[in-house]
Structure 1
Amino acid sequence: MEEVDIDFRSETEFGEYGDLLYQLLSDIYGIRVLTVCSYMLQVIPSAEEYPCLPLDRVQHLTLRTVLHVHEFHGISFFLNSCPHLEILTIDIAPARIFPERGTNLALKDHEFLSSYRLRIVYECVSKSLKKVEIKGFKGEMNEIVVINYLLCYGLVLDTLSIVLSKEKGPNGMDMEEWYRKNAQKLLKFKRASKSLRILIN
């Protein structure tokens, strides 16, 4: 098996399924391309074996996510679990957010949000991640903090591709120009990689 797409978007309850999802991921060890949904990102931190699972062969990871703070620990789980990741696709799309989270992990100290100088830097981010693609970009704060983290620590990152959201504003207002202005602000962000290209589409 080379590619797996795990999608639980139809789930309406959080449930105590962290360990089951962890086992599911254990059973598909060896895949190269993995796609996971927001539900997985929110529930996996409640697994007893959190914070990682060796997914050593995954080279392309797609996250279908709102980039809500309740998904941040799940995103960290997959970054930590995929040490040889080369391509990260973040597909921003509506999803059900479960306020209970099922975990006592603190959000204020999470590496995307923390103001501490000493942050967790995942092996894939500093050593193998070459391309990041953000689909559905608007420039909201939750998007910015994740992108900023990847830019600050992505030592070998060569491409950040931003695909603007097509979502309309109030009363059907066209928001493309606003989203593009937000994306262009990324050009001024501090970056670890000297060869990084930022593409805005």
Structure 2
Amino acid sequence: MTMSTRSKMTNSKNNDMISSLPDCLLFFILSSFPFKEAARTCLLSKRWLAMWRSSNVKNTQLQFPAAAAAAGEGSTFFVNFITNWIIEHKNLIEEKFSLTVSPPPNCGDVIGICVDFAISNTAVKDLELDFHKPQWNYDENENENENHDVMVELPKSFYNQINLQLKLESLKLYSCRFDPVDFANFHALTDLTLGWIPLNIQTLKTVLWICKSSLRSLTLKRCWDLQHLRLGEETERLTRLVIEKCRFKIDYWCFEAPNLEYFKFCGNVGISHIRVQLGKIEEADLDFGALSEFFAYGFAMCRVLEDFRPARVLTVCSVFLQLFPASRDGKPLHFHGGLAVRHLTVKTQLHRQELYGFMFLLTKCYVLEKLTIHLDKSCNVLSGYRAPDGVNLDMFWEKTKHPGCMKRLLKVVEIKGFMGTREQLNACHYFIKFGRVLKKLTITVLNEENENPAIVELRRNVALHLLDVPRTSKDLVIKIS
């Protein structure tokens, strides 16, 4: 096709192939869009505007960005737009509704309208109300004692809506004041997330006790004012528990969870007494990555590991490897027995300070079948680290003993984010040479967005040299991508 011919075809009537589709297909396309993207289509033409007004947009997400709050006209436009949208869609039937207003401008009325719209829906099962400010996101430099003003108090109508009480299954509240006693009305609630709120232990226990018969999943995200996490029978029926960067006055977690299947903790190191059940607990994810300085937390790490001995899938962070299992006097701590872990994931950069904890953990995974190494150059390397007495990190790979799982069961090793450092190469050599039953070694080279292609190619070439390393397992297949 010549350039002139293509130009004539493009300019003839400026045909819009999408708009030429029948209404049934356009409705299908529109209904698959997120709310914000679907709303933009009403500017295309009167036809698109009519379809937008009459479409049944599922999983609605109303978002008010921070930039709009700074402009008076933007705030007014948002209020008018949302009000008109709700009027047009008052009979909308959907199962999921999400309202995000951050930071909240002076639009309490429209927030109330949105909440009323969400809870009046006869089919909504998943409700998310998010009023936190992005700058509240916690990191290690944030003032630990700084509290935030909770932005919105839920209206009484929220607790009294019959349809919501009978059908709501998942509820996420971020920076919302609520009355824990009124949760007794939510008979179908199985999944509860609370974030960016002050939450004392008694309030938490009240919520858990009231919802005990139905609640199965609990997530606490960046809450503060928690004295500790000592709970009783309230947690017996939970199958999923996530605690993400909450602030405890005392880092102490004690509860019984015989039905717990998934546990994730992200925060400071503390003492734990958590009872889970062999055959029930499937996965534990332990992240203490906010710590930047080495302390004698080896005993605490052993206690946490002991609690989750029955987990079949275990994920640990770089800090865990550096702290475990070192004692205050430099002597290695003892961890008797083994773990039930079949799939171990370590988030690490294979820094020399992580090596002893990494290998010690492997020796305790007697039945390990799969190992995933997430190489992350942003992992914290703790200052003041002290290796256990008698451990020579310079000769670590040459002197280390081979874990039992390397001889019997470890069949798959995944290495993600390969950068070609000395320790990463040493680790690859180790698994290739001594993995007696290893069947698959997958190495994914780090390829970040906008990275120099020449650097990526250099990493790949370094990895390709591993294909020439002598293999102990005749069945081993090495894949590099």
1:139-178 map, 5 Å: 139-167=420-448, 172-174=451-453, 175-178=455-458
Whether contact under 8 Å (1:52, 1:78) holds in the other structure is no
1:116-131 map, 5 Å: 119-131=400-412
- Asked whether 1:97 is paired with 2:381, we answer yes
Q: CA deviation at 1:177?
A: 1.2
1:1-201 map, 5 Å: 1-47=281-327, 50=333, 52-93=335-376, 94-102=378-386, 103-104=388-389, 105-110=391-396, 112-114=397-399, 119-167=400-448, 172-174=451-453, 175-201=455-481
TM-score (norm: length of structure 2): 0.39
Where 1:91 maps in the other structure, the secondary structure is strand
Label 1:54 to 1:168 Cα distance change in 2 as closer, same or farther (>3 A): farther
- Post-superposition Cα deviations, 1:109-165, rounded to whole Å, max 9, x if no partner, equal 42x144xxxx51110011110000000012211101111111111000000001110
In structure 1, how many angstroms separate the alpha carbons of the residues matched to 2:381 and 2:438?
30
In structure 2, how many angstroms separate the alpha carbons of the residues matched to 1:168 and 1:138?
15
In structure 1, how many angstroms separate the alpha carbons of the residues matched to 2:337 and 2:478?
30
Where 2:337 maps in the other structure, the secondary structure is coil
Where 2:393 maps in the other structure, the secondary structure is coil
Label 1:167 to 1:190 Cα distance change in 2 as closer, same or farther (>3 A): same
Structure 1 residue runs of 5 or longer lacking an equivalent are none
Paired letter, 1:78: L
Whether contact under 8 Å (2:292, 2:381) holds in the other structure is no
Paired letter, 2:379: A
- Post-superposition Cα deviations, 1:14-33, rounded to whole Å, max 9, x if no partner, equal 22211011101101111000
- Post-superposition Cα deviations, 1:56-91, rounded to whole Å, max 9, x if no partner, equal 310000010010011100111111110110000000
In structure 1, how many angstroms separate the alpha carbons of the residues matched to 2:414 and 2:476?
13
Structure 2 residue runs of 5 or longer lacking an equivalent are 1-280
Whether contact under 8 Å (2:340, 2:367) holds in the other structure is yes
Whether contact under 8 Å (1:51, 1:77) holds in the other structure is no
- Post-superposition Cα deviations, 1:156-200, rounded to whole Å, max 9, x if no partner, equal 00000011102479xx42222111111111100111100100011
In structure 2, how many angstroms separate the alpha carbons of the residues matched to 1:95 and 1:192?
32
Whether contact under 8 Å (2:411, 2:438) holds in the other structure is yes
Label 1:51 to 1:164 Cα distance change in 2 as closer, same or farther (>3 A): farther
In structure 2, how many angstroms separate the alpha carbons of the residues matched to 1:82 and 1:52?
12
In structure 2, how many angstroms separate the alpha carbons of the residues matched to 1:113 and 1:68?
16
Counterpart in the other structure of 2:243: none
In structure 1, how many angstroms separate the alpha carbons of the residues matched to 2:457 and 2:395?
34
TM-score (norm: length of structure 1): 0.89
Whether contact under 8 Å (2:293, 2:383) holds in the other structure is no
Whether contact under 8 Å (2:292, 2:383) holds in the other structure is no
Give % identity.
Answer: 35
The size of the alignment, in residue pairs, is 194
In structure 2, how many angstroms separate the alpha carbons of the residues matched to 1:51 and 1:193?
32
Q: CA deviation at 1:99?
A: 4.1
Where 1:108 maps in the other structure, the secondary structure is helix
In structure 2, how many angstroms separate the alpha carbons of the residues matched to 1:155 and 1:72?
21
